[in-house]
Amino acid sequence: MRKFKPLIEVDDDSLKIPEVGNWSTKKWSLMGAYCDIFTNGMRNMWNQLVYIDLFAGSGFARIKNTNRIYYSSPLIALSVPIKFDKYIFCEKDPELLFALKKRVTRLFPDQNVSFVLGDANDEIEEIRNLMPAYSKGNTRLPFCFVDPFSLELRFKTIQTLGQDLMDFLILMALYMDANRNLNNYLNDNNDKIALFTGDNNWRSEFVGYENKQRDFIKYLSDKYDQNMMDLGYIKPANKHLVRIASSNLPLYYLAFYTKHNRGNDFYKKVKKTATGQTELGL
Ligand SMILES: C[S@@+](CC[C@H](N)C(=O)[O-])C[C@H]1O[C@@H](n2cnc3c(N)ncnc32)[C@H](O)[C@@H]1O
């Protein structure tokens, strides 16, 4: 039986390599498993499969305090045994995008890849326009991986892409960001959560929650699910929770959103493949 291993260790190639926490290996295992299951399951059902990475990075990442360097999300998506037909990578740091381009050209010269330099939220129409056209006889299904450091993702961005038929794997940095910065966000002058949820009136909804610190994550998670349901997506039955291995503290979760009921099936397969993760009981 074929088995794709998303954790691909590499040597330093002298291009820029960002440092990341060791929990990133769990993220890459999960996103790699989704890409593999997606192309494997969808290849015969759609003419064109498209991979979009909105917060792409440089393609390599080093685990902090180690010499271990791995492929990060864009190169993992390019490595799946059954390829996507088109890849679109957006990154706002010019140095990281430069390194990514070099690596893609060297390691995956035959793949159809477009690069977008800039803030994914601002460049979303360009990203949309880079997708290959579709028609009745030439169907298209994109898979969009969304991997921000924090809650800098605007809901409007997802809304714009969600107009098209598209599956999303979204990293919700709720524990990393939302919990630590709750007091800032409750301040009326701070618009981060309004942009993240697409709702300027979110505070009046949240005011009814008794334990603010504890319930903020549940509130945001439920709100996001509701937003996605309003776009026609199915509420995911489960989400993957990623924890810091040393302390077991929760960090973030990954949620797969699709308009088709394959979501639960994919979740179960990924859970089986990428061992060790738990799901968030929200
Ligand atoms: C958490 S890292 C993810 C990198 C990569 N996906 C991985 O697998 O490790 C987030 C990346 O998004 C970039 N970034 C931050 N804000 C961005 C934005 N608004 N638009 C596009 N890229 C952004 C950062 O420079 C960083 O490389």
Tell how far the Cα of 150 is from the centroid of ligand 1, in angstroms.
10
pLDDT of 207: 86
The DSSP bridge partners found for residue 43 are: none
Q: Closest by alpha carbon to 120, among 86, 84, 147?
A: 147
- CA distance readout (Å), 45 to 40, 48, 147, 176, 204: 10, 9, 27, 38, 44
Give the pLDDT of residue 210. Answer: 80
Ligand 1 atom with minimal separation from the 72 CA:
8
Q: What is the DSSP string of 190-216?
A: --HHHHHHT-TTHHHHHTT-SSHHHHH
- pLDDT for 202-245, tens place per residue? 999 998 888 877 788 888 888 999 999 999 999 998 898 887 77
Asked whether the predicted pLDDT for residue 201 surpasses 80, the reply is: yes
Which of 55, 72, 98 for a ligand 1 pocket mutation test, highest count of atoms within 8 Å of Cβ? 55
Domain spanning 9-174+234-279, CATH architecture:
3-Layer(aba) Sandwich (3.40)
Closest ligand 1 atom, residue 20 Cα: 9
Best residue among 76, 116, 149, 152 to mutate for probing ligand 1's pocket (most ligand atoms within 8 Å of CB) is 149
The residues lining ligand 1, judged by C-beta closer than 6 Å to any ligand atom, are 20, 24, 55-57, 61, 72-73, 90-93, 96, 119-121, 147-149, 152
CA–centroid distance, 207 to ligand 1, in Å, is 32
183 pLDDT higher than 70: yes
Residue 204 C-alpha to ligand 1 middle, in angstroms?
Answer: 31
Over the range 226-251, which residues count as b (16 or more CB within 10 Å of their CB) and which as e? ebbeebebbebebbbbbbeeeeeebb
- Helix, strand, coil proportions of the chain in percent (round to 5)? 40, 20, 40
> Would you place residue 2 in the very low, low, confident or very high pLDDT band (cuts 50, 70, 90)?
low
The residue-averaged pLDDT of 177-201 equals 90
- Is the CB of residue 42 less than 8 Å from the CB of residue 139? no
Q: What is the 33 CA–ligand 1 centroid distance (Å)?
A: 20
What's the angle, vertex CA 238, arms to CA 232 and CA 240, rounded to 5? 115
Atom 9 (ligand 1) nearest CA: 72
Ligand 1: atom nearest CA of 58 is: 27
Q: What is the pLDDT of residue 38?
A: 97
pLDDT digits (tens, 9 = 90+) for 73-113: 999 999 999 999 999 999 999 999 999 999 999 999 999 99
Mean local confidence (pLDDT), 64-71: 97
% pLDDT > 90, the chain: 70
Q: What percent of the chain is modeled with pLDDT above 70?
A: 96
Q: Which atom of ligand 1 is nearest to the CA of 171?
A: 1
Count the Cβ atoms, other than its own, within 10 Å of residue 102.
16
Ligand 1: atom nearest CA of 57 is 27
